[in-house]
Chains A and B, each alone.
Chain A
């Protein structure tokens, strides 16, 4: 096959980004006249294979191996490498999930073939595929092409393609074998766990007041809290604020925190790094206040204010309380 889609297990379901990869592969196959296949593995391989076979993905390849029943970087990297060698695809597509970031670079190193990561777009005009990636914290875009011969490993950023566009179909399932040895696995993983949410449920909030680095210092957090209260909303933050210890992790929005889509997302002093944006770009109205007119947050904002949040917040609070 020409395009191999690597699907990730999310507790017995195909990971959301896997469905997006299917949509990406279908576009690529359509535009370039290429054939497809989807790879599933792990303890939920049967369930994933059944789900994948309901899409127009050419065929589904299922790898059963007890050393792959739970995830390890060593096992998954070696298994995917072997499947690539067996199937000889030109493109290997992944969602840019945390698991993929953990092992796919090792597949790239094993094969000495490039891994073009975290793409937001793909252009297939003229039969050449050009991938578009954000750089410099999303301030600039770059067009990147692979140089060497394939296979090329490619990952797409969350929501670069819509899972709703994944065309259903009926694909056959085939089993493939990989040779793994227990001595290859140099890690031992414990069960995943969640840290206490601390009573913060941002996903159901209609109004979110979210603060970033621009809030300046810890002493200014109560100011933002007052604004959130005055608006009847919840207080959230981007990663730097949580990293600094100014707010608990339960308040974090973004790829490593919560994903939200409130009626209004008020971004205060948030630059708009992609790790944050993936968690809030589905908001119905985004209002951004930032003193840097070049901040990437303005690219996705519905309403923008270039100004100092520390000047604007107190006056907003005053105005709201005066109402």
Chain B
């Protein structure tokens, strides 16, 4: 199996997100970046499939400016064999059709059996890129994948439906799957892996420009109409006030 894994570098859950003065983007210099959570699970799943079959190749592919090589190196250190870096300025680039066409262009010559991506990115949350790439490359697609069984030129995946329902779906290969968080336990890179990653190939490609189909007009901090009563003070005081609130305001005690 030759598997491509899309990884995205996104702001970490705890990262500051100051909005740029033009209100079109966040100030990237202040952002602490990490690998997108569901992409990390997608990478682990690809590595496990390769290891279980004792053959194949895992190629990590990412799109963005130079800073994304940090997550590419991390993926290589975890065990990906080589990498493709689609080098492009991503400020304000939110259009999934444009993003997916860059990926499809970079992937089409490689004839992958499987393309894995995280279910959605923790920054824009468009939840489309992997599915669009599958369509563009004429592949079968499945989203929200919770488990994968391979064998016999087909794969079978467990898809998450809504409200605690699931479904097994068989797909012909090649296929593009979007991976749900939680289907495995992602590994940490070993020291040997980190050292070895330095020697692995990162092919840098420059995409042809494409027109965006949707545009970000403004980004802002939401303001809520809801009045939140903030309970303040020392820990002991807060606990006392909470108990008071449970008893007298919410009336559950």
Contact = CB atoms under 8 A, between A and B. Distances in A.
Interface string A303-314: 111110001100
Given A130-B217, A142-B216, A192-B167, A213 B13 contact: yes
A215 B125 CA distance: 25
A226 interface: no
B214 A147 contact: yes
A181 B238 CA distance: 65
A253 to B, nearest CB: 11
B220 A74 contact: no
A307 to B, nearest CB: 6
B91 interface: no
Interface string B108-145: 00000000000000111111100110111001111110
Main secondary structure of the interface of B (DSSP, over half): mixed
A139 B239 contact: no
A199 B73 CA distance: 44
Interface residue tally on B, bucketed by range: 35 or more
A130 B220 CA distance: 14
Nearest to B170: A188
A319 B243 contact: yes
Given A146-B213, A148-B213, A192 B166 contact: yes
Nearest to A135: B124
A205 B136 CA distance: 46
Contacts of A274: 125
A146 B142 CA distance: 26
A141 B236 CA distance: 35
Contact of B228 (A193, A292, A301): A301
Contacts, number: 256
Given A136-B11, A137-B122, A303-B245, A258 B221 contact: no
B194 interface: no
Given A239-B181, A258-B163, A141 B222 contact: yes
Interface residue tally on A, bucketed by range: 35 or more
A115 interface: yes
B216 A194 contact: no
Most chain B C-beta atoms within 10 Å of own C-beta, residue among A213, A256, A301: A256
B110 to A, nearest CB: 19
Contacts of B216: 142-144
Interface stretch (B52-60, B82-90, B92-100): B92-100
A182 interface: no
A134 interface: yes
A73 interface: yes
Contacts of B251: 263
Contact of A299 (B144, B160, B163, B224): B224
A304 B160 contact: no
A277 to B, nearest CB: 12
B213 A114 contact: yes
Contact of A242 (B169, B182, B215, B236): B182
Interface in A99-136: 99, 101-103, 105-106, 108-110, 112-118, 130, 133-136
A44 interface: no
A105 B143 CA distance: 11
A7 interface: no
Interface of A: 73-74, 77, 97-99, 101-103, 105-106, 108-110, 112-118, 130, 133-148, 186-195, 197, 206-207, 213, 231-232, 239-240, 242-245, 249-250, 255-259, 263-264, 271, 274, 284-285, 287, 292, 296, 298-307, 311-312, 315-316, 319-320, 323
